[in-house]
Amino acid sequence: MLAGKVALITGGASGIGRAAALLFAREGAAVAILDVKAKEGEAVAKEIAAAGHRGLLISCDVTRAAECRAAVERTVREFDGLHILFNNAGIIRRATVVDLSEDDWERVMDVNVKATFLLAKFTVPEMARCGGGSIINMGSGWALKAGPRAAAYCASKGAVVQLTRAMAIDQGPQKIRVNCLCPGDTDTEMLREEARQLGESESDFLADAVARPLRRIATPEEIARAALYLASDASAFVTGTTLVVDGGGLA
């Protein structure tokens, strides 16, 4: 589905990002993995290479403009183009506005919103030179329906939804599609980190997370397949939308 394409995936060393990197590579894309976790990211790149595909780890703090610019430039230099951007990197801090520190507010906004802006800023001109492309911004079910003790996270993901819509309008004439993927609870380290932040046992927290019509949480691979749809020509007339993949949680 992605033969001849070049994809850049932030947060590609683990979780949904790792699953997407491996899947996109199997589908024919050359994949640049952006992450600050060098050891884990290098392992993913090696796994891609071992399967006969092209993968590259670029160590990058996605909240830094200079590093984002350099990462995009290196991707284009190594793979001769850029067609897909998956803004997957994200963090969560579980707290109310009263309990949340200013530093944590700024960190969540930087990673979840500012990084999305920065990578798009430097990627769009390269995509335009390639004749178009697809940008996938990572939202959340809580971008559309808020949850408790997650004020900064909900605000950041709501901002990503609106940023996606604005970008779809602006970049549409360049044949660049921009969509927002909104997963429900997914079996990742970040989900377990939420339990620790809330002071809950992991087993109790995960038991609560399955309270949805399908009675389970998602696997990273299931969310990656939704990202593949948005990255590929199968969604050629889809832009400016939010794709909810949450096992019926919002229903």
| Rg of the Cα atoms in the chain | 17
What's the CA gap between 44 and 33, in Å, rounded?
8
For 95, the token pair is 């707290």
Q: How far is CA 149 from CA 96, 207, 211, in A?
A: 5, 18, 18
SS3 category, 198 = helix
Query: Is residue 135 within 8 Å of residue 87, measured between CB atoms?
Result: yes
The HSE-up count of residue 137 (CA atoms within 13 Å, CB side) is 34
| 153 assigned to active site | yes
What's the CA gap between 16 and 33, in Å, rounded?
12
Q: Please choose, from the candidates 77, 70, 71, the residue with its C-alpha nearest in 3D space to the C-alpha of residue 57.
A: 71
**Residue 186, φ and ψ in degrees, nearest 5:** -130, 145
Q: Find all residues with CB under 8 Å of 50, minimum gap 6, and list them.
A: none
The HSE-up count of residue 161 (CA atoms within 13 Å, CB side) is 19
Tokens 């009675």, located at residue: 215
- Among the listed residues 153, 184, 228, 245, the single catalytic one is 153
For 250, the token pair is 């919002």
What's the CA gap between 21 and 12, in Å, rounded?
6
Q: Which residues are catalytic?
A: 153
